Amino acid sequence: YQKDWLISTILSFIEDGIKIKGKEFDNEKLKEVKEIFITISKNEKSQINDFKDLSMTALNNVKGKLYSCLIEYSLCNSRRLPSSTESVGFWDKEIKDIVLNKLADQTDNVLIFHTLGKYLLNIGYLDKDWLINNFPKIFPIENEKCWSAAIDGYFFYQVDPLEFIFDLFANNKHFELALRKDFENISGHAKKNIVTCICIAYLLDYKVVQLNSELLKTLLGTKTEYVYSNIIYFFWDPHKRIGSKYLKKVKDIWEYLYNDCIKMTSPENDKVFLSCSSKWLNTVDKLDDKVYEIIKNSIVFLNQRDRYFVLEILDKHAKDSTKYVAEILLLIFTKEITYDGRE
């Protein structure tokens, strides 16, 4: 234990000198740092103390700290290389070889996969071709434990979809796998970010996330509470982050989901969606014929909590869509939902 503590302390000290601006080592010391990392990598035999959360486990174990330091060293070193180096990649070959050797060992070392997932965007900067060629090794679908660790590492920290990386996930069916099965290593926060990432890519009109694409069909057909709740919140957009140029796509996906849920193939989840999605009135710019029909037929499923938000949102449309707002109000009050949720 004392040996692991000492190594961990040394790594934390060195990390400050390669990561924090103003504290970075000079070139000579950086060479010594690389040798220290190589020596530790060859000789450390520490056991992984499981904190039941991979992000915390990686931060509090020698292996996790070492792998982070290897990437941080590469990033620090790359900032000192001439721009012409970009054509062959900024990643130090010896460090790259260490990472490849660690990747080859899929027995119980999930932290290398989690760390590479976390630093995936940085690796793309260091050597994009290496990332593309080794993507299947970083996210090995055939090994669920290592794969889910890498997925958690990436999506725990990332939500904005960089198109070339998004395509790597989508074209190799990683999203479908993550959505269809509950994995112990994938945290709730990472799951939320997976759903949000796909929703953002849909708004950005990525080719692999068109309305009738297999990926979007899989997402929208995954009628679980965490998927639906995150889709609903994203397009409700209470903080007004969705720009006006994307509003047609919001209407399109709303209509698509409404047409599916009104069939009641999964009654419990469909009723929840039809109630909660009524809050998307907050996002659309106009209460037109199509939106009115969706709201009119969804009101029968409106619960007490969503009723409050819908009443508040209707005020936004009262001036431009007075007739429709009045008819919706009549339908809401005719339904007469009581405060304890009973109809």
Looking at residue 107, its pLDDT comes to 66
Count of C-beta atoms within a 10 Å radius of residue 144: 14
- Which residue is associated with the tokens 């995936």? 120
User: Cα–Cα distances in Å, from 127 out to 124, 248, 259?
Assistant: 5, 38, 45
**HSE of 194 in the Cβ direction (CA atoms, 13 Å)?**
31
Q: Dihedral of CA 206/207/211/213: which sign?
A: negative
Looking at residue 48, its pLDDT comes to 82
Looking at residue 341, its pLDDT comes to 47
Instruction: Give the whole-angstrom CA distance, residue 123 versus residue 104.
Output: 18
Q: Read off the tokens for 17.
A: 């000198």
Looking at residue 88, its pLDDT comes to 57
Looking at residue 339, its pLDDT comes to 47
Q: Is 89 left (phi over 0), alpha (psi -120 to 50) or beta?
A: left
Of 15, 1, 123, nearest to 66 (Cα)? 15
Helix spans in the chain (H): 2-19, 27-43, 54-59, 62-78, 93-104, 110-118, 120-126, 128-138, 144-157, 163-171, 174-180, 188-203, 214-221, 225-236, 247-261, 267-276, 289-298, 304-317, 322-335
Of 167, 255, 171, nearest to 204 (Cα)? 167
Instruction: Give the whole-angstrom CA distance, residue 186 versus residue 175.
Output: 12
Average pLDDT along the chain, 343 residues, taken 10 residues at a time? 86 88 84 94 85 87 94 90 68 91 80 96 93 95 94 96 96 93 89 96 96 93 89 94 94 96 93 95 94 96 92 93 95 69 47
User: Cα–Cα distances in Å, from 32 out to 17, 67, 94, 96, 149?
Assistant: 12, 17, 14, 17, 31
Instruction: Give the whole-angstrom CA distance, residue 283 versus residue 232.
Output: 11
Please, which residues have CB within 8 angstroms of residue 108's CB and are 6 or more apart in sequence?
Answer: 48
The crossing angle, in degrees rounded to 10, of helices 188-203 and 247-261 is 120
- In residues, how long is the chain? 343
